[in-house]
Structure 1
Amino acid sequence: MNSHTKTNSMTSYSPEVQRMHDILEQQKVAYQRYPVPTAKERIERLARLKKVLVKYQDQFAEAINQDYGNRSISETKIGELLTCLEQIKYYSKHLTAWMKPSKRHVSILHQPAKAWVQYQPLGVIGIIAPWNYPLLLSVGPLICALAAGNHAILKISSSSSNFGFVLENALSEAFPQELVAVVNGGGQISDAFSHLTFDKIIFTGSTNVGKTVMSAAAENLVPVILELGGKSPVIVHPSSDLNLVAERIAFGKLWNSGQTCVAPDYMFLPRGKTAEFIESFKQAATTMYPTIRDNQDYTSIINDKQYNRVQGYLEDARQQGAELIEINPQNEELASVRKIAPTFLTGVLPTMDIMKNEIFGPVLPIMEYDQIDDVIDFINGRPRPLALYYFDFDNARAEYVSQRTHSGHFGQNAVVTHVAQDDLPFGGVGASGMGKYHGPEGFFGLSHERSVMSIPKLFSLKFILAPYDKALNKILEKTFLR
Structure 2
Amino acid sequence: MAATVVQLTESKKQIQHTHRVFEGQKKAFRNNPMPSLTERKENLKRLKRALLAHQDKLVEAIDRDFSCRSRDESLIAEVMPSIQGINYTLKHLGDWMKPSRRHVSILFQPASNKVCYQPKGVVGVIVPWNYPLYLAVGPLVAALAAGNRTMIKMSEYTPHTAALFKEIIESMFPEDLVSVILGEADVAADFSQRPFDHLLFTGSTSVGKLVMRAAAENLTPVTLELGGKSPAIVSPDVPMEDAAQRIAFGKAFNAGQTCVAPDYILCPTDRVQAFVDEFRAQFAEMYPNLRDNDDYTAIINDRQYERLQSYLEDARAKGAELVEINPANENMKDGTRKIPLTLVLNTTPDMKVMQDEIFGPILPVISYDNLEGAIHYINDRPRPLALYFFGYDRSHQQQVVDNTLSGGMCINDALMHVAQDDLPFGGIGDSGMGHYHGKEGFLTFSHHRAIFTKQKFNSGKYVYAPHGTTAHQLVYKLFIR
Q: Which of the numbers 219, 231, 234 marks the counterpart of 2:232?
A: 234
CA RMSD of aligned residues (A): 1.0
Q: Does 1:395 align with 2:394?
A: yes
The 3-state SS of whatever aligns with 1:461 is: helix
Aligned runs of 1:184-203 on 2, under 5 Å?
Answer: 184-203=182-201
The alpha carbon displacement at 1:461 in A equals: 3.0
The alpha carbon displacement at 1:230 in A equals: 0.5
Q: Deviations over 1:359-383 (max 9, x none)?
A: 0111110011111111111110110
Q: Which of the numbers 63, 67, 70 marks the counterpart of 2:68?
A: 70
Aligned to 2:307: 309
Confirm or deny: 8 A CA contact 2:21 2:175 kept in the other structure.
yes
- Note the residue ranges of structure 1 that are not aligned, 5 or more in a row: 1-12
Q: Deviations over 1:192-235 (max 9, x none)?
A: 00001111001000000000000001111110000000000011
Cα distance in 2 between the residues matched to 1:463 and 1:394: 61
Aligned to 1:245: 243
Aligned to 1:320: 318
Aligned to 1:351: 350
Q: Which of the numbers 258, 265, 281 marks the counterpart of 1:260?
A: 258
Tell me which amino acid in the other structure corresponds to 1:16: Q
Cα distance in 2 between the residues matched to 1:56 and 1:99: 30
Confirm or deny: 8 A CA contact 1:268 1:368 kept in the other structure.
yes
The alpha carbon displacement at 1:463 in A equals: 2.5
Confirm or deny: 8 A CA contact 1:462 1:472 kept in the other structure.
no
Aligned runs of 1:36-55 on 2, under 5 Å?
Answer: 36-55=34-53
Instruction: Report runs of 4+ in structure 1 exceeding 2 Å deviation.
Output: 460-463
The alpha carbon displacement at 1:287 in A equals: 1.4
Cα distance in 2 between the residues matched to 1:296 and 1:462: 75
Q: Does 1:332 align with 2:349?
A: no
The alpha carbon displacement at 1:289 in A equals: 1.0
Confirm or deny: 8 A CA contact 1:145 1:152 kept in the other structure.
yes
The alpha carbon displacement at 1:460 in A equals: 2.9
Q: Which of the numbers 55, 58, 70 marks the counterpart of 2:56?
A: 58
Cα distance in 2 between the residues matched to 1:145 and 1:299: 31
Cα distance in 2 between the residues matched to 1:359 and 1:452: 47
Confirm or deny: 8 A CA contact 1:324 1:346 kept in the other structure.
yes
The 3-state SS of whatever aligns with 2:158 is: helix
The alpha carbon displacement at 1:295 in A equals: 0.8
Confirm or deny: 8 A CA contact 1:50 1:88 kept in the other structure.
yes
Q: Deviations over 1:142-191 (max 9, x none)?
A: 01111111110110000011100000011111111110000011122111
Cα distance in 2 between the residues matched to 1:143 and 1:275: 45
Confirm or deny: 8 A CA contact 1:154 1:183 kept in the other structure.
yes
Cα distance in 1 between the residues matched to 2:275 and 2:471: 76
The alpha carbon displacement at 1:15 in A equals: 2.1
Confirm or deny: 8 A CA contact 2:65 2:160 kept in the other structure.
yes
The alpha carbon displacement at 1:397 in A equals: 1.3
Aligned to 1:287: 285
Cα distance in 2 between the residues matched to 1:17 and 1:150: 22
Aligned to 1:27: 25
Q: Deviations over 1:290-345 (max 9, x none)?
A: 11111111100001111111111111111111000001112112122111101001
Aligned runs of 1:413-452 on 2, under 5 Å?
Answer: 413-452=412-451
Q: TM-score, normalised by structure 2?
A: 0.96
The 3-state SS of whatever aligns with 1:272 is: helix
Aligned pair count?
A: 470
Q: Deviations over 1:118-156 (max 9, x none)?
A: 000111110000000000001110011111111101100
Confirm or deny: 8 A CA contact 2:384 2:406 kept in the other structure.
yes
Tell me which amino acid in the other structure corresponds to 2:466: P
Cα distance in 1 between the residues matched to 2:231 and 2:104: 46
Aligned to 1:7: none
Tell me which amino acid in the other structure corresponds to 1:30: A
Aligned to 2:468: 469
Cα distance in 2 between the residues matched to 1:71 and 1:128: 22
Aligned to 2:383: 384
The 3-state SS of whatever aligns with 2:83 is: helix
Cα distance in 2 between the residues matched to 1:390 and 1:475: 58
Q: Which of the numbers 261, 270, 273 marks the counterpart of 1:272?
A: 270
The alpha carbon displacement at 1:467 in A equals: 1.6
Cα distance in 2 between the residues matched to 1:187 and 1:89: 34
The 3-state SS of whatever aligns with 1:264 is: coil
Aligned to 2:8: none
Tell me which amino acid in the other structure corresponds to 1:321: G
Cα distance in 2 between the residues matched to 1:160 and 1:459: 61
Aligned runs of 1:108-127 on 2, under 5 Å?
Answer: 108-127=106-125
The alpha carbon displacement at 1:14 in A equals: 2.4
Cα distance in 1 between the residues matched to 2:326 and 2:397: 34
Tell me which amino acid in the other structure corresponds to 1:399: Q
Aligned runs of 1:10-25 on 2, under 5 Å?
Answer: 14-25=12-23
Tell me which amino acid in the other structure corresponds to 2:257: Q
Tell me which amino acid in the other structure corresponds to 1:345: V
The alpha carbon displacement at 1:240 in A equals: 0.5
Q: Judge which range, 328-337 or 246-255, deviates more.
A: 328-337
